[in-house]
Amino acid sequence: MSTDEPKTDAQWRAELSPEQYRVLREHGTERAFTGKYWDHHANGEYRCAACGAPLFSSSAKFDSGTGWPSFYEAVDAQAVRERTDNSHGMLRTEALCSRCNSHLGHVFPDGPPPTGLRYCINSASLSFHPRD
């Protein structure tokens, strides 16, 4: 899947809130326990807040205790792109939207079964859509 930037920086600034822009486009992190989805338990789909691509299902969400929405898998293998992140003196795996290349959060190898992965995602990067 292409990871070309689909919009200009000016377009992202115009369309996103300041907090969304800081997280999605500047690889920021929201403060723990402050986002709108860390304690959110409804059934539905979490989509990219920047481009609307489906990213995570509520069925893969679990309570990690971290204060960020956490999932053990993405909706499909192509939805989330991973890359090495050496920033802040840590070696981490960054999670990005495959469609628009926006920053979502990080992936850690300490999640629950069946994958053992923990996608630690900023609420600011997500838009929830209930399933009926």
List, by residue number, the catalytic residues.
120
- Residue whose CB is less far from Fe ion, 15 or 39: 15
Contact residues for Fe ion, defined by CB under 5 A:
48, 50-51, 53, 97, 99-100, 102
- Residue whose CB is less far from Fe ion, 13 or 39: 13
Considering the complex, what minimum distance in angstroms separates the CB of residue 6 from Fe ion? 8
Considering the complex, what minimum distance in angstroms separates the CB of residue 82 from Fe ion? 14
AA letter at 93: T
- Residue whose CB is less far from Fe ion, 53 or 92: 53
> How far are the Cα atoms of 59, 95, 98 from residue 75, in angstroms, in the given order?
10, 13, 12
Contacts of 127 (CB under 8 A, 6+ apart): 46, 47, 48, 49, 52
